[in-house]
Amino acid sequence: MEVVGAGHSVYFSALSELANMVSRDSTYPKWAEKLSVLNYPRLLIIDEVGYISLDSVVSYFVFSLVCQRYEKEAMIWAPNKEFADWASVFAGDEVLAAAILDRLLHHSTVINT
């Protein structure tokens, strides 16, 4: 609420909603458009990380999103799984999960609830 009150844009989405908006074809022209829309807000909040497992295409989309926002705009991720279990969310790909976590955790504050 503080970010909105300060006049900045915020985008909130559950990871499952984000997954549903992504075409399974990475060459689809709207891919870049969706990345652009999600890169615009000053703060991006992704909730419910861990309730569903993503396929490899959507996992790559999420990785692309994180890479584009990395060290540029703020992100809040609300996971329901420990970091060690994130590979199960991202198509079972441990390398991809580690790369996403590397970018998310760099310069971050982790709050365990």
Residue 27: predicted pLDDT: 67
Distance of CA 20 to the CA centre of its chain: 13
Beta-bridge mates of residue 74 = 43
- Work out the number of other CB atoms within 10 angstroms of the CB of residue 32: 11
pLDDT in tens, 25-81: 666 677 888 899 999 999 999 999 999 999 998 999 999 999 999 999 999 999 999
Spell out the long-range contacts of 99-103 with Cβ–Cβ below 8 A and sequence spacing 24 or more.
99/63, 100/62, 100/63, 100/66, 103/66, 103/67, 103/70
CATH number of 2-105: 3.40.50.300
Domain ranges of the chain: 2-105
Model-level pTM?
A: 0.89
Whether pLDDT at 4 is above 90? no
